[in-house]
Amino acid sequence: MSENCLFCGIVAGTIPSTQVASTDRAIAFMDINPATAGHLLVVPRAHSTDLREADAEDLTAATLLAQSLVGLVIERLDADGANLLSCIGSAAWQSVFHTHLHVIPRYKDDPLQLPWHPTSGDMDAIQATAAKLL
């Protein structure tokens, strides 16, 4: 538990939330700034800044809970699909520094546009970058 963490407060019940699911290691609640109708957040109960620091069992629990919720939002909210998103660092849009996964229902006509627009990459540059990761 981190004293000044918004999500730790939600986990502890000291900050109100609309919780929709929970396990012994993770909880899921509605995002109060939804990208689309039904946008959920899934967080491990234990504090970690992002998935790089998260305990493997906590991350597994959060991922499995998110997986079950993807099926629910598609089935019960008539979503056409879903995005599962983890933001790591402020440059990647992380605004609450507690590991979390966004479950974002997607609808054919929803207005959400992520800033990435895929275009063909330079294969030499792609291979050079891959070599740095090997």
39 part of the active site: no
pLDDT, tens digit (0-9, with 9 covering 90-100), for 56-91: 999 999 999 999 999 999 999 999 999 999 999 999
Q: What is the structure's pLDDT at 118?
A: 62
CA torsion angle 12 100 76 117 (round to 10) = 160
| Residue-wise pLDDT tens digits, 82-132 | 999 999 999 988 899 999 999 999 999 998 887 666 678 888 888 888 888
Measured between alpha carbons, how far is 97 from 116 in angstroms, rounded to an integer?
A: 23
Q: Which of 21-25, 49-53, 118-122 has the lowest mean pLDDT?
A: 118-122
DSSP tally for the chain: helices H, then strands E: 3, 5
Residue environment code for 18-33, b if the CB has 16+ CB neighbours within 10 A, otherwise e: eebeeeebbbbbebee
Show me where the domains of the chain are located: 6-133
Residue among 47, 100, 102, 117 flagged as catalytic: 100
* Separation CA 12–CA 5 (nearest Å): 11
Tell how far CA 114 is from the center of its chain.
14
Q: What is the CATH number of domain 6-133?
A: 3.30.428.10
CA quadruple 21, 27, 30, 33: dihedral, nearest 10: -170
Confidence (pTM): 0.87
Residue 115: the pLDDT is 64
92: left (phi > 0), else alpha (psi -120 to 50), else beta? alpha
Residues in the chain: 134
